[in-house]
Structure 1
């Protein structure tokens, strides 16, 4: 029984996706008066969950008098700060937070937070995989799987690995991961940051803002955007960089084909040839995950075994099939130029490249040298491919267009020869022809299997 006569606090949740519904469940459990409001439609699955928990909800509208009386508002990461409703809430000084911030208040778990423009899903999944095999009771959440809030509500784990987007970090106030990982920073989502790269950089660095001297920050020391920002804005946590280019006293580096990690004279060594995931970017992901695992006292032999056995993330440089000695690779998760850079960089032979979709202000020039070196033909799969055709018209003779995945794969099948690759790595968002990058990747795999 709750004996204090305090008035029940009101939690309003904007957006009834995975993070919104999870927050509503946790809020209900913690004794809030909860109201969920979604401007779009709520899926039948989530409606049923909300009914089961007896949580009040509305869809296709935001009823302001039911929202502006909130004590705290959890806003879905998809809703920009500049919309009227959010501005009204801020004008009334009502606290607007992200699910990550809200949920972190109700767990005493040790949190590993992973952010970055690219590599964060692989690093999150790989870290979770190692910690789990190392015997820790660990859950994975954030941008991935069941929401953090729902997991805190239903079976709070002692350890979490959270994949965090810049939008989720924009909505934190006190959230502080014990270990923060920043994989890299390249221009992405600038439409949400007034087209200012420095705003996006600041957003990523929010992962460190509440850390103290007992916490750790693991980052790519080869990334000048990160290292310059650290010089300008020093942080309090202990720095553990990783690098492919130079030797480091504390942190992870590459030497003669070996990954070497040193933390307080504790050393870990592993040859990169033993890594199950190929490509330099995956050496970095492995360094980050192994550094976290070493901090959390996982046995070195376990870390090695996991790095040898981990099979990667669906839609991220995923080998689908080999047909007539041509390897088909699904990299649908490459929704920006930098991700595609890593994919092309990992190709060891001539490649037919399927590219295109919704362009987020891409600068394709950084791909020119790789395209010249590796790409024998380009297939544009998008509603408007003008920019791609203009960008690569001088690099590649064979450029064609289609708006059908099946046709794109059939075209590629005709062009690719023995020992070559067919790579779907769009460098763009998927919303022009597909629901999301997962659907795009699944259609690619289905089309390949039908060849």
Structure 2
């Protein structure tokens, strides 16, 4: 019996009617499976679609304690809902299986998968991986924590799936069998959901569980796979996939074979070169032509809000890295743009730190930051870390102040080390705000 046929015999609850939840409902309906839909919000975002397209579906809204989750044989949970949530935990204790849409995909999918997680850089790596595969002629399904929900992709025709996976998604995933998988890096994030770094790291490592080839960062011991036989490392130096210098030029190297100059990668920063090495490593089982990588790397201009060059004015560059929502991402951003020992960066940081320890930023501030401009909920906490700090109340004030202090050759960098939700609906809105005022400087 196929898994889809088994599902028809189960009492299924879809818990959470956000993007992934609505996608799950659509997928089940397409396979003649009618779930019960439950959401704690009285005005759940997918409710209008359900009422218009599947009015026969039973929907329960509001207090989860009144929804009797234990009545189900299977709960398909949205990643934003923690397994530790009281009513979910009670259902699990009573024997209800709880999975996410990624696990449902894994139980049905028959095509090869490349899986990527990490605290930072996931979106850039999966996007570039997909572009290389497309350049090689593959039809690629890019999804997971980015773009199209995974079950929407499953009903389409693809040769290979490239998945960005968050720790939240990996909590409920056990059957995925990637051809290659990576934990790019580990730094403090989401500690408001996990019982410390060890729990967070362990969850990230679920991605290695059934993979054929584990790709890890030689520079980050927290990413080292333990139970996988085939392991490949990437790093700037001395790794299976690394950077080498010949005749004064920097090259990408794979398993001691020099490939092509790093100048073929158009996005700036050392962290982007490391991301590119991860892509080459992830795709090593495909034995692609070197020219394919060169062409894709040359055409990839990066993602919005990821260390994105907004403009240059009076030889001052303005970079939008609003996606740097944690300490590790902020450090990576600083390191990638720093000019040796010169303090050439005016950093705009702050927001909601989600309980993170900011102290690890201090050596990077001391070495590279000319001025630290802080805003948002945890502005004062960040400002204590540097003698060069200044406090502002808005992004407009932050950019204006940064421009006043910037000299020729300097960089104004938005890399907040915090989430945006104290001031903005999301990190994109924050980045757009920064970009608007940066461009305004150029126009003045």
Do both proteins adopt the same fold according to a TM-score greater than 0.5, normalized to the shorter chain? yes
Bigger shift: residues 283-292 or 162-171: 283-292
2:41 alignment counterpart: 40
Structure 1 distance, partners of 2:271, 2:361, is 16
Q: How far has the Cα of 1:74 moved from its partner?
A: 1.2
Q: Is the 8 A contact 1:117 1:188 kept in 2?
A: yes
1:302 equivalent to 2:303? Answer: no
1:207 alignment counterpart: 207
Q: Is the 8 A contact 2:324 2:418 kept in 1?
A: yes
- Per the alignment, do residues 49 and 330 of structure 1 end up closer, same or farther by CA in structure 2, a change over 3 Å counting? farther
- Report the 3-state secondary structure (helix = DSSP H, G, I; strand = E; otherwise coil) of the residue aligned with 1:68: helix
Task: Please give the per-residue CA displacement for 1:251-308, whole angstroms capped at 9, x wherever unaligned.
Answer: 312222221113xx9x461222332122222222101112233322332201111112
Q: How far has the Cα of 1:450 moved from its partner?
A: 2.9
Q: Is the 8 A contact 2:271 2:333 kept in 1?
A: no
1:351 alignment counterpart: 345
Structure 1 distance, partners of 2:295, 2:150, is 28
Match of 2:217 among 205, 220, 229: 220
Q: TM-score, normalised by structure 1?
A: 0.89
Q: How far has the Cα of 1:347 moved from its partner?
A: 2.2
- Per the alignment, do residues 9 and 433 of structure 1 end up closer, same or farther by CA in structure 2, a change over 3 Å counting? same
Match of 1:365 among 352, 355, 359: 359
Q: TM-score, normalised by structure 2?
A: 0.90
Q: How far has the Cα of 1:41 moved from its partner?
A: 4.9
Structure 1 distance, partners of 2:102, 2:299, is 30
Match of 1:234 among 212, 217, 227: 227
Q: Is the 8 A contact 1:331 1:425 kept in 2?
A: yes
Q: Is the 8 A contact 1:74 1:96 kept in 2?
A: yes
Task: Please give the per-residue CA displacement for 1:181-221, whole angstroms capped at 9, x wherever unaligned.
Answer: 221122222222212x221121111111123xxx1111112
Bigger shift: residues 44-53 or 157-166: 44-53
Q: How far has the Cα of 1:44 moved from its partner?
A: 5.5
Q: Is the 8 A contact 1:114 1:181 kept in 2?
A: yes
Match of 1:332 among 322, 334, 337: 322
Structure 1 distance, partners of 2:285, 2:319, is 34
Match of 2:377 among 374, 383, 391: 383
1:139 alignment counterpart: 141
Match of 1:245 among 217, 221, 237: 237
- Report the 3-state secondary structure (helix = DSSP H, G, I; strand = E; otherwise coil) of the residue aligned with 1:27: helix
1:374 alignment counterpart: 368
Match of 1:419 among 399, 409, 417: 409
Q: How far has the Cα of 1:110 moved from its partner?
A: 0.9
- Per the alignment, do residues 280 and 325 of structure 1 end up closer, same or farther by CA in structure 2, a change over 3 Å counting? closer
1:198 equivalent to 2:190? Answer: no
1:157 equivalent to 2:174? Answer: no
Q: Is the 8 A contact 1:409 1:447 kept in 2?
A: yes
Count of aligned pairs: 428
2:13 alignment counterpart: 12
- Report the 3-state secondary structure (helix = DSSP H, G, I; strand = E; otherwise coil) of the residue aligned with 2:187: coil
Q: Is the 8 A contact 1:183 1:220 kept in 2?
A: yes
- Per the alignment, do residues 130 and 6 of structure 1 end up closer, same or farther by CA in structure 2, a change over 3 Å counting? closer
2:275 alignment counterpart: 285
Structure 1 distance, partners of 2:288, 2:47, is 37
1:450 alignment counterpart: 440
Task: Please give the per-residue CA displacement for 1:88-138, whole angstroms capped at 9, x wherever unaligned.
Answer: 211221110111001222221211100111111111111011111111000
1:270 alignment counterpart: 260
Structure 1 distance, partners of 2:439, 2:150, is 35
Q: How far has the Cα of 1:348 moved from its partner?
A: 4.2
Q: How far has the Cα of 1:156 moved from its partner?
A: 4.2
Q: Is the 8 A contact 2:315 2:408 kept in 1?
A: yes
Structure 1 unmatched ranges of 5 or more: none
Q: Is the 8 A contact 2:374 2:380 kept in 1?
A: no
Q: How far has the Cα of 1:386 moved from its partner?
A: 2.1
Q: Is the 8 A contact 1:293 1:303 kept in 2?
A: no
Structure 1 distance, partners of 2:40, 2:405, is 46
Structure 2 distance, partners of 1:53, 1:159, is 31
Structure 2 distance, partners of 1:137, 1:72, is 32
Q: Is the 8 A contact 2:424 2:430 kept in 1?
A: yes
Structure 1 distance, partners of 2:8, 2:289, is 49
Q: Is the 8 A contact 1:357 1:432 kept in 2?
A: yes
